[in-house]
A and B are shown apart, each in its own frame.
Chain A
Amino acid sequence: MKLTNEEKTAAIETSLRVLSNYNQEKGSLIPTLQQIQNELGYVPSPAMEVVAEHFNVMKVDVYSIVTFYNQFRLTPPGKNQVKVCMGTACHMRGGNIIMDSWKRRLEIDCGETSEDREFSLDRVACVGCCTQAPVTLINDEIHAKVTPTRVEGLLYAYQLDKDKENKKAGEDN
């Protein structure tokens, strides 16, 4: 996925601002990366360069941290983040079938963002609602007892919301 020039500038500016609040001790390395991801939604390559310079380490060291921990994303998330729980309880109740349904409907693989950047699809390991398995998170909302038909329903509801928004935008103009 190619970053636009604005995205690159935003990445560098945000990183510099975040870093100005931290000292150069290595113990602050992961917290700064977390902060950058909180603000941008991901840790882009230009941000890693800025961080490496601040802590006086090589860029590959930062890269190896970002790729080691599951929390960090390398690509911008979609406007809507779909996360399917793949924890034990959800797996036992067909979490993989739900994941397949999302893949099929969004036409992307787990870990990817759709071309129009409307959706990204990820897996999570247990959100602690095992009693409601299988669950899918859309943005931060938890949907319990999801079935393939509910996947269709959830997407349909999203489509309706979007149509409404577009219509509203149309009226405002």
Chain B
Amino acid sequence: MSAAVTKIFVPRDSAALAVGADDVAAALQREAAQRGLAIELVRNGSRGLFWLEPLVEVATPAGRIAYGPVAPEDVPALLDAGLLAGGAHALRQGATDDIPYLARQERLTFARMGITDPLSLADYEAHQGWAGLRRALALDGAAIVQEVTQSGLRGRGGAAFPAGIKWRTVQQTAAEQKYIVCNADEGDSGTYSDRMTLEGDPFMLIEGMAIAALAVGATRGYIYIRSEYPHAIATMQEAIRRASAAGFLGASICGSGHAFELEVRKGAGSYVCGEETAMLESIEGKRGVVRAKPPLPAIEGLFGQPTVINNVITFATAPLILARGAQFYRDYGMGRSHGTLPFQLAGNIKHGGLVEKAFGLTLRELLIDFGGGSASGRPIKAVQVGGPLGAYIPASQWDVPLDYEAYAAMGAVLGHGGIVVHDDTADMAQLARYAMEFCAIESCGKCTPCRIGSTRGVEVIDRIKADQQREQQVVLLRDLCDTMLHGSLCAMGGMTPYPVLSALNHYPQDFGLAAVQEASAS
């Protein structure tokens, strides 16, 4: 009789790999073999508790037990301590599901994340996979659109436009060929939930895009993934291959007669290609320059045909909505922000990681209750929410509920849910300068306020910092921001003033101006 095989999980998520997950996996294989221990190593996705990565889990009769962060050199001692039976060790975090950071979340879209082997169709099926697609196959297009509309799902890529309305437009526009395009460009600093999905639960995205295809009558789809994400590209390509071989994609989805072919397109290092019309240009093989709207992509999109273009998380939410029903999803959240958002804690934060919660919690809860304060142990000074085009939020605004409308009301955005924390050593004038510099580097060049204004912005901030006619230059900076806000074709030039003005308004002392109170707090 051979000894029972113990399942051990070591993530294959890029962030886990970047802190040595492969070396830990190799050490486990090697040590277990030397000791004659029978293990089955599963390369799962990440749970998103990144400060614990590499997080090793072992399956025991009492459930999965977590250890982290594990270094390769910890492996012998862990095995000595009875790792395979969930033994006691300084790195032991207890039952994974009971780790407070995870237990307090409302994981709907990320329910499978870190639990399954991302490329195992059997695992996916065993964890509610394809249930949404199977339900969609029993409905007509209008009914699928209705379900998504009813759920209140709004685009998770930034602009928060209702997904159902977009899908309905494409569904009702007659055309020979329609397309589904997934925006996996995720260029925002502080965001990684798309990457986690592509690497950690790729079939969920495939299922969501197939549901969209059924809803609108599209037969071709593209996933545009940024070149900075090679692991995501490889995983997605393999997932498409496996899903096609199993009949979930191809000439006849699940034998239904509906065709849907899916292809990965690799970006090439351009932030503005995350803007949907620039992305369409890029897929068409052109420079990724923003198109003027109208026409809307829903009516004239890829190759001039009606196109649904949504973010990864938007598509990835569709399977759950179809499987559990619109009302189930709609009941989460507050106001007109329904459902959950995978918030992404990043930067100078002790417990950086992914927190999926219903809209309506506050930044303070995320920063303190989940994040545990700054990583440096110093007071948190400024928090940029919503990516590089998002505002810096001072402590006085940390109790505003995270809700699209509440944030808009204070001149901020939730964007893709990225949260970047800076401690009191941050120089906000420098960060404002960086925002302008980033816009200058990444501008597509189509309109003047963005193309030229960003370069002028860098110069003006340099003069403010050097105290050359400071007061006058501040007036000029505000004027310039106003021009960019109102005169830009897309949000690149149109929102760069958000980080710049919020830095100036809340942290004037960093620009050499008289300080306001309350700018810094712990």
A binds B: no
Interface residues of A (CB under 8 A from B): none
Interface residues of B (CB under 8 A from A): none
